[in-house]
Structure 1
Amino acid sequence: MIRTIVVDPHAPSHLAFKEVDAPQPKPWEALVQVKAVSLNRGEVSDAKNQEISSRPGWDLAGIVIEPAENGAGPQKGARVVGLLPMGAWSEQVAAPVSLLAEIPDKLTFTMAATLPVAGLTALYALRKGGMLLGKRIFITGSSGGVGLFAHQLAVQSGAYVVGTASTEEKAELVREVGSDEVIIGYSAISSASKFGPYDLIIDSVGGNTLAALLPQLAPQGICVAVGFSSSNTAMIDMKNMVTSGGRTLYSFFLGEELTRQSAADDLSLLARLVTDERLIPRIQVEAPWTEIDTVARNLMERKFTGKAVLHLD
């Protein structure tokens, strides 16, 4: 038996511990002893609507204790980072080797656990803009996990980057990761136009923010919608979109992206960047996984920025 975190509607954050049977890997899966996991707002929010005893969790880092039967992927004893569609918040997981990457010895499990969902989302969203050297990029949700990774990767690509923050304190954090300009307050999003037009917009806010940003796209520009933290609906000025021509609104879902790109290769890339100190995860909270309830509630109440990592003993 192993311990895992499950959905429990009676818990304050809808998350609780439960003992379950140890996983039995399929031939293409490796058995991983999990050492650290990170939290994302999406999975914590989704837990409130899932069936009782469902097993949430996407990001993980740990050690392979049983390699895949088909011989592919990391071997026994390898230190790895990976992700699952669900169930990563467990002492042990059976993970497809296509979603696992070995990490350098210098990279801690804590750092590695921040990379899968936030890092891959930032990387893949930026790739929608093609070659970024000299281009103008606007990023909302800049002080969150995806935003902070996206800023660092965009700056390294030679782009001119404009970010957002809700307070001056958070704005300073965004400047520290290389943003050229920071717009403070989502209500002032229209003022972003003085730094545009933008070749690429990465938006995680949705609602009125998304609607206000679309007219700020340059000809042939693309807006990648990666979330909708403020509202899941937006009133779009279709006349502006149609008569301007050439602008694209791209709906981004990481699960769909992973059907066309190699998570293992790209996780290896992100891990190397962190090891070389070219990419720095901003970890705001570290705690034992027994504190999942408190950390999850604080995450949803936006009491911290950056990433939260939980350690498994």
Structure 2
Amino acid sequence: MIRTIVTDPLAPSNLAFKKVAPPQAMPWEALVQVKAFSLNRGEIKDANDSKASSRPGWDFAGIVIEPAKSGTGPQKGARVVGLLPMGAWSEQVAAPVAMLAEIPEKLTFAEAATLPVAGLTALYALRKGGMLLGKRIFITGSTGGVGLFAHQLAAQSGAFVVGTASTEEKAELVREAGSDEVIIGYSAILSARQFGPYDLVIDSVGGNTLAALLPQLAPQGVCVALGFSSSNTATIDMMNLVTSGGKTLYSFFLGEEATRQAVADDLSLLARLVIEKRLIPRIEVEANWNDIATVARDLKERKFSGKAVLHID
């Protein structure tokens, strides 16, 4: 039997440990002994809202203990990072090799575990803008895991990047990540106009913020909607959107994006960028996975920026 984390309405933060049978891999899956995983606000929210027992978890890093029977993917003993739709918070997982990338020895399991959801989301959202050299990009949620990765990747593309922060202290984190300008205070989002119009907007806030940003798109500009941390509804000025023409509002869901992307190759790319110090995961919290309830609560309440990583002994 192995230990795994499940949702439980009677447990703190709705999360509890449970012993289950080890996973049985399909021919295209490898068995991985998980060493670390990172937390994302989306999965925490889903777990907190769950009324039935489920096994949450998306990001993980560990060691292959049984390679895929198909003969593809990382071999036994390989250090890997991967992505699952659920169940990654477990001592062992069965992972499709298409979602699994081998990582070099210089990359720690903690660093690797930050890359799947946050890193791939940032990478794929930026790709919606095409060639970014010389373009203007606006990023909300800049101090979160996705935001900090997006700023670093965008800065390397040669784009002019504007970010957001709630305080001057947090604004400094965004500047360190490569932002050219930082708008402080989400209520002042209209002041972003002074640096626009924008060829690409990456928004994870939704609500009034999304509505205020759409008119700031340049002709042929794209707004990638990643989430709705402030509100799941937005009142859009359709006259402005339609009469300006050529602007795109793109709904982004990583699970759907992953079906059309070379996830293993892109995870390898992100890992290489970390090794080369061109991408720096900001890990604010590292703890044992026995502390899942406390860390999950703190992440949900935005008590820290960047990523939280939990280690499995």
Into which bin does the TM-score normalised by the smaller protein fall? over 0.9
- State the partner residue of 1:125: 125
Residues 36-115 of structure 1 mapped to structure 2, 5 A cutoff: 36-115=36-115
Identity of aligned residues (%): 83
What do residues 23-58 of structure 1 show as CA deviations (whole Å, max 9, x unaligned)? 010100000000000000000000123243300000
Per-residue deviation at 1:297? 0.2
CA contact (8 A) 1:6 1:52 kept: no
SS of 1:259's partner is helix
What do residues 200-227 of structure 1 show as CA deviations (whole Å, max 9, x unaligned)? 0000000000000000000000000001
- State the partner residue of 2:2: 2
SS of 1:5's partner is strand
1:184 aligns with 2:184: yes
- State the partner residue of 1:231: 231
Amino acid at match of 1:143: T
Residues 1-313 of structure 1 mapped to structure 2, 5 A cutoff: 1-313=1-313
* Count of residues paired in the alignment: 313
Per-residue deviation at 1:10? 1.0
What do residues 248-305 of structure 1 show as CA deviations (whole Å, max 9, x unaligned)? 0000000000111011000000000001110000000000000000000000000000
In 2, the alpha carbon distance for the partners of 1:178 and 1:57 equals 30
Q: Which moved more, 1:294-303 or 1:51-60?
A: 51-60
In 1, the alpha carbon distance for the partners of 2:101 and 2:60 equals 11
Per-residue deviation at 1:99? 0.3
In 1, the alpha carbon distance for the partners of 2:302 and 2:223 equals 25
SS of 1:210's partner is helix
Question: Kindly tell me: are residues 211 and 125 of structure 1, through their superposed partners in 2, closer, same or farther at Cα, counting changes over 3 Å?
Answer: same
SS of 1:189's partner is helix
SS of 1:112's partner is helix
What do residues 124-162 of structure 1 show as CA deviations (whole Å, max 9, x unaligned)? 000000000000000000000000000000000000000
In 1, the alpha carbon distance for the partners of 2:96 and 2:140 equals 32
Q: Which runs of 5+ in 1 are unaligned?
A: none
In 2, the alpha carbon distance for the partners of 1:286 and 1:53 equals 26
TM-score (norm 1): 0.99
Q: Which moved more, 1:51-60 or 1:147-156?
A: 51-60
- Cα RMSD between the aligned structures? 0.6
List structure 1 runs of 4+ shifted beyond 2 angstroms.
Answer: 48-53
What do residues 161-220 of structure 1 show as CA deviations (whole Å, max 9, x unaligned)? 000001111101001111000000110000000000000000000000000000000000
